[in-house]
Structure 1
Amino acid sequence: MIARTWHGRVPTGKADAYHAYLLRTGLNDYASTPGNRGVQALRRTEGDITHFLLITLWDSLDAIRAFAGPDYDQARYYAEDDDYLLEREPTVTHYEVLSTS
Structure 2
Amino acid sequence: MIARIWRGWASTATADDYQHHYESEVAEHLQQVTGFCGARLLRRHDEQEVMFTSITFFTSMEDVRAFAGEDPEQAVVEDTARRALTRWDEHVTHHEVTADLRR
Q: Quick check: 1:40–1:55 contact (8 Å CA) kept in 2?
A: yes
Equivalent position of 2:42 in the other structure: 42
Q: TM-score, normalised by structure 1?
A: 0.93
Assess if the C-alpha contact under 8 Å between 1:25 and 1:78 holds in 2: no
CA offset at residue 53 of structure 1?
0.5
Partner of 1:21: 21
1:78-93 to structure 2, matched below 5 A, reads 78-93=78-93
Is the 2:8–2:85 contact (alpha carbons within 8 Å) kept by the matching residues of 1? yes
Percent identity over the alignment is: 33
RMSD: 1.1
Task: Describe the superposition over 1:31-74 as per-residue Cα deviations: whole angstroms up to 9, x where unpaired.
Answer: 22110100001100112100100101110000000000010000
Q: Which AA in structure 2 matches 1:51?
A: M
Question: Equivalents in 1 of 2:24, 2:84: separation in Å?
Answer: 14
CA contact (8 A) 1:12 1:47 kept: no
Q: Following TM superposition, where does structure 1 have runs of at least 4 consecutive aligned residues deviating by more than 3 angstroms?
A: none
Task: Tell me by how many angstroms 1:22 deviates.
Answer: 1.4
Which consecutive residues of structure 1, in runs of 5 or more, have no partner in the other structure? none
Separation (CA, whole Å) in 1 of partners of 2:49 and 2:62? 34
Offset of 1:89 from its aligned partner? 1.8
Q: Distance in 2 between matches of 1:76 and 1:70?
A: 12
- Paired residue type of 1:32: Q
Matched to 1:35, the amino acid is G
Q: TM-score, normalised by structure 2?
A: 0.91
Between Structure 1 and Structure 2, how many residues are aligned?
101
CA distance in 2, matches of 1:50, 1:88: 11
In 1: Cα distance, 2:13 partner to 2:94 partner: 30
Structure 2 gap ranges (5+):
none
Matched-pair contact (CA < 8 Å) for 2:6–2:55: yes
